[in-house]
Amino acid sequence: MVKFTLHKLAQFALALGILAGGGTVNAGLISSNVDVAIYFPNTSSLCFDAGPRIVSSSVEYPIGSFPASCNASIAVDITDGKFILSLDAPGSFQSGSFNGFIMTVLSGPTLLDASAESGSAFSPVGVSIKNGNQLLLNYQGVVLPSTPGRVSSFIDIRTGNAVPEPASFALLGAGLAALIFWRRTRGRAPRYKHSLIG
Q: Is the pLDDT of residue 24 over 50?
A: no
Dist. CA 89–CA 147, nearest whole Å: 7
Count the neighbouring beta carbons within 10 Å of the beta carbon of residue 18.
Answer: 14
What mean pLDDT comes out for the span 3-21?
A: 52
Pairing of strands 46-54, 75-78: unpaired
Contact 137, 84 (CB under 8 A): no
For residue 111, count CB atoms less than 10 angstroms from its CB and return exposed for 0-12, middle for 13-18, buried for 19 or more. Answer: buried
In order of 174, 191, 198, the CA distances from 195 in angstroms are 39, 10, 7
- Each residue of 54-74: pLDDT tens digit? 999 999 999 999 999 999 999
Q: Where are the domains of the chain?
A: 2-25+164-186, 33-159
- Each residue of 111-166: pLDDT tens digit? 999 999 999 999 999 999 999 999 999 999 999 999 999 999 999 999 996 455 55
List the end-to-end C-alpha distance of the chain, in Å, as a whole number: 33
Dist. CA 37–CA 30, nearest whole Å: 19
- Each residue of 78-97: pLDDT tens digit? 999 999 999 999 999 999 99
What mean pLDDT comes out for the span 32-58?
A: 97
Dist. CA 76–CA 86, nearest whole Å: 6
In order of 24, 117, 189, the CA distances from 137 in angstroms are 29, 13, 68
- Each residue of 103-126: pLDDT tens digit? 999 999 999 999 999 999 999 999
pLDDT given for residue 26 in this prediction: 54
Sheet containing strand 149-159, strands side by side: 75-78, 82-89, 149-159, 111-116
Q: Is the pLDDT of residue 195 over 80?
A: no
